Chain A
Amino acid sequence: MTTSEYDRYRPPEEPRRRRRRDHAAAADSPSEASAYAVGTAVAPSAGSAMGPDALATAPSGSAPAAGRRVGARRGGLAPAGGDGAREMAMVPEPQFAPADGYYGRPVVKAPPWDERVALYLVCGGIAGGSALLAFGGQLTGRDALRCNARLTALGAAGVGALALVADLGRPERFLNMLRTIKPTSPMSLGSWILAGFSTGAGVAAAADVDRLLGQALPLGPLRRVLYGLEAPSGALAALLGAPLAGYTAVLLSDTAMPTWNAAKDDLPFVFVSSASLASGGMAMITTPTAQAGPARALALAGVAGDLVATKAMERRMDPVAAEPLHQGRPGWLMRWSERLAIAGGIGTVVSGLTRNRWVAAASGAALVTASAFTRFGVFYAGKDSALDPRYTIEPQKRRLAARRRAGIMHDSITTAG
């Protein structure tokens, strides 16, 4: 597209450097097709299709929409064509309806978390549920289940913790997570939970590993200690399993990200359900069907809980704040999560009836994937919701107006004096 006949004399433009801003980086990501873009992109320009001559000769007033004042005022002004078109398409016009805030820029900032944190959310769920299964196995003498679940718990916790550390701005300072205990900080409590859980899961798993290796580990007199600590460690991990699987819901909800925050009442249920079906699924993959009965039961409970809790959550959320869950990449993930959960649930039932290891493994994989999709979906939806100011402004204006209608005047941040 060219607006000047002389543009052809110019060398091709270098691609523009992006701002070193998180929201810009996020806009770069595949979620570009999400609600943000859909919500704010302005209609393609009539002007962009016009040649300069047409414009130059068009009398003022009858000129097409490109520069018309009315359009400008209402924010409907076309994006620039010509040179700036690529960038302009995302850039809203100066005069904005108030819901678009300040030039359509985000009001809140998405956290700088990338997929590693989403991965941690998944791993945390698997680890927490697995510890519960392991403890159950430990108590009920299901050795394979106990051993596999312990290893899963430790592995998932380890991968998750590593992902979390890697996502830090200063990974070398990860120990500062244990610098203080802050009840107001789910991340602080979560760090302590993760530390405790990992210790428990680690000791318990070490005992099983030692057994698997025929006591080949060079433990010496510590072996007795290890075996002595095995049971309480397994109990500790199980005690912290559900918190580990669920605290991340609070971590997400305890933010100003509109979608996460709006989901605060129900997200823990979604997350524990998702953790249950994922850990059950993992156990169905790793463990012979004979010992995997409780895993299947847990998975089925998780599927049921997941479907119910997710629906309830979406229904109870502010409709605008819920939008990102249905649009773009998170929408896709959430839809497929549901489908896979249902499919996995059916497969679980089938595998329970047929005792077919392959069906069990496939169902387990579907469930694990469903859980991952749920958590990635929720993760992305929250980040997306930060990008469009509408998700922040509209629910807030609505609740403010509702309070004012109800005669509650004392708690507004805006005051007349």
Chain B
Amino acid sequence: MQRLTAPDSAAVGDNPTADAHYAHPRARKGFFTDTSICIGCKACEVACKEWNRNPVDSNYELSNSSFDNSEGLGADTWRHVAFIEQDRSRIEAARESGRALVSLGMPQIRNADVPTTAGEAITTAITGAAPGPLSAAAVPPASGLPPAPELGDLDVLSSLGGGPTRPEDARAVDTTPPDTPEFRWLMSSDVCKHCTNAGCLDVCPTGALFRTEHGTVVVQDDVCNGCGTCVAGCPFGVIERRKDGIAQPKTERSAAPVTPTRPGTPEPARNVGVAQKCTLCYDRLVDDQTPACAQACPTTSIKFGEREDLVDAARERVARLHAEGRTEARLYGANPQDGVGGTGSVFLLLDEPEVYGLPPDPRVPTADLPRMYARAGIAMASMAAASALAFMLGGRK
């Protein structure tokens, strides 16, 4: 029972296909989305829709969010490019929070099994304080992050002049940060995370969601009955039930008095009422083709491959950016010990995850399922007992 209720693959490390009983298990596939080279062209969104024949997801009005008019991931939008405009203070905050990550000894993936005490040691060394609750002054409640010492606001402010900044604290990263620009425009292509411990997959009652031989998580359109549990089960808000499937332009507005033979018959609405999300182009993977978004991506901001290689590449890229002084760079989803066991889609972000609409500390709900079952068991037993007592104490007939 323990094994059955454990979050998917917790028993098998970060290769979730290992015990899936495939005749030919394959290496785990994934994406590495390097937002530092994304040009926000949205080719991924279109290529995805085109390949998967996903319906239009729009009322054809601006979404009031910079150049982003697709709002977010959903049943009809499986790739979504976020656009975030930031001024200098936000850039500095991002750089600072990234630096704090480094200072905290956060490159934890390599030595993921460093015992907690080591982490504590690092913290102690850096903050000069014992682990545990710090004084309110040391922990600004707003950021929730202990700042690195000697890198306070004053230092940052002193570099506001626009000239080259002085060499920064060598203990963090031994680089000279580049000039902080006045402004930046972040772009990032979001996608299903294909979690190691996938909430949607765990809670699906029909088996419509399944773990493929590539380690990805896919909905079987012919099985799903649209119960919607997976929607609530996803800590990233990715999967959604498709409401309708209008893939057509506003035909009622067509000025043509005639209905000529159409070169393409309109696609009928597909998979209405069924949970939908990125399949990592499962059908293409079957034939060793690259997923549509990664194939289209002009600047290789979206990379596809074996997850292990991608994580290596991602680490190299972060190290390179850090070496350039861009401490705001960080990885998201590369850590197999995080709340979802690491994600198949790894991201390089340039700010805190929530800025991109990503949860800062997601946790697959089924991680707590054994405890929930235990609590519920006690409650149910209590109810049965209460009933029994009621009959014993409920008086005569």
**A touching B, CB within 8 angstroms:** yes
What 0/1 pattern do residues 117 to 136 of A give for CB contact below 8 A with B?
A: 00000000000110011011
When C-beta atoms are compared, the residue in chain A nearest to B343 turns out to be: A413
Is A169 a contact of B227 with CB atoms below 8 Å?
A: yes
When C-beta atoms are compared, the residue in chain B nearest to A269 turns out to be: B379
- Extra contacts besides A129-B387, A246-B376, A269-B382 (17): CB < 8 Å: A73-B87, A102-B82, A106-B72, A107-B354, A109-B238, A170-B225, A179-B207, A187-B205, A238-B384, A255-B199, A297-B391, A297-B395, A305-B382, A401-B146, A407-B116, A410-B112, A413-B362
Is B360 a contact of A183 with CB atoms below 8 Å?
A: no
When C-beta atoms are compared, the residue in chain B nearest to A174 turns out to be: B225
- B105 contacts chain A at the CB level, 8 A cutoff: yes
Neighbouring B residues of A133 by C-beta, 8 Å: 387, 390
Is B226 a contact of A417 with CB atoms below 8 Å?
A: no
Is A294 a contact of B391 with CB atoms below 8 Å?
A: yes
Is A404 a contact of B104 with CB atoms below 8 Å?
A: yes
Is B361 a contact of A302 with CB atoms below 8 Å?
A: no
A164: min CB distance to chain B, Å: 8
- B131 contacts chain A at the CB level, 8 A cutoff: yes
- B232 contacts chain A at the CB level, 8 A cutoff: yes
B126: min CB distance to chain A, Å: 11
Within 8 A of A (CB), among B307-344: 315, 318-319, 322, 330-335, 337-340, 343
Contact A182 to B204, CB < 8 A, known contacts A106-B237, A170-B274: yes
What 0/1 pattern do residues 345 to 357 of A give for CB contact below 8 A with B?
A: 0000000100000
Neighbouring A residues of B390 by C-beta, 8 Å: 133, 136, 280, 294-295, 297-298, 301
Neighbouring A residues of B381 by C-beta, 8 Å: 242
- B252 contacts chain A at the CB level, 8 A cutoff: no
- A389 contacts chain B at the CB level, 8 A cutoff: yes
- A18 contacts chain B at the CB level, 8 A cutoff: yes
- Please, how many angstroms separate the alpha-carbon atoms of A241 and B387 in the complex? 11
**Contact residue among A247, A273, A393 (Cβ-Cβ distance under 8 Å from B376):** A247
Is B207 a contact of A182 with CB atoms below 8 Å?
A: yes
When C-beta atoms are compared, the residue in chain A nearest to B352 turns out to be: A98
- Please, how many angstroms separate the alpha-carbon atoms of A33 and B397 in the complex? 49
**Contact residue among A140, A179, A242, A301 (Cβ-Cβ distance under 8 Å from B223):** A179
Query: Can you pick out 26 interface pairs between chain A and chain B where the beta carbons lie within 8 Å of each other?
Result: A16-B61, A21-B240, A22-B241, A102-B356, A111-B232, A136-B388, A139-B391, A169-B227, A169-B275, A176-B207, A182-B207, A183-B5, A245-B383, A246-B379, A246-B380, A247-B376, A253-B368, A254-B366, A256-B234, A268-B379, A269-B375, A280-B390, A301-B390, A407-B116, A411-B339, A414-B352
Contact A101 to B355, CB < 8 A, known contacts A253-B372, A416-B101: yes
Neighbouring A residues of B1 by C-beta, 8 Å: 183
Within 8 A of A (CB), among B279-333: 315, 318-319, 322, 330-333
- Grouping DSSP codes into helix (H, G, I), strand (E, B) and loop, the A interface class, with mixed when no group exceeds half, is helix
- Please, how many angstroms separate the alpha-carbon atoms of A295 and B101 in the complex? 58
Is A410 a contact of B337 with CB atoms below 8 Å?
A: yes
- Please, how many angstroms separate the alpha-carbon atoms of A369 and B58 in the complex? 40
Neighbouring B residues of A179 by C-beta, 8 Å: 206-207, 223
**Contact residue among A275, A295, A409 (Cβ-Cβ distance under 8 Å from B104):** A409
Most buried by A among B84, B107, B239, B357: B357
Neighbouring A residues of B199 by C-beta, 8 Å: 255-256
Within 8 A of B (CB), among A358-380: none
- A415 contacts chain B at the CB level, 8 A cutoff: yes
When C-beta atoms are compared, the residue in chain A nearest to B368 turns out to be: A264
Is B229 a contact of A187 with CB atoms below 8 Å?
A: yes
Neighbouring B residues of A297 by C-beta, 8 Å: 389-391, 393-395
Neighbouring A residues of B242 by C-beta, 8 Å: 169
Within 8 A of B (CB), among A12-28: 16-22
- A342 contacts chain B at the CB level, 8 A cutoff: no
- Please, how many angstroms separate the alpha-carbon atoms of A190 and B372 in the complex? 14
**Contact residue among A99, A249, A268, A305 (Cβ-Cβ distance under 8 Å from B354):** A99
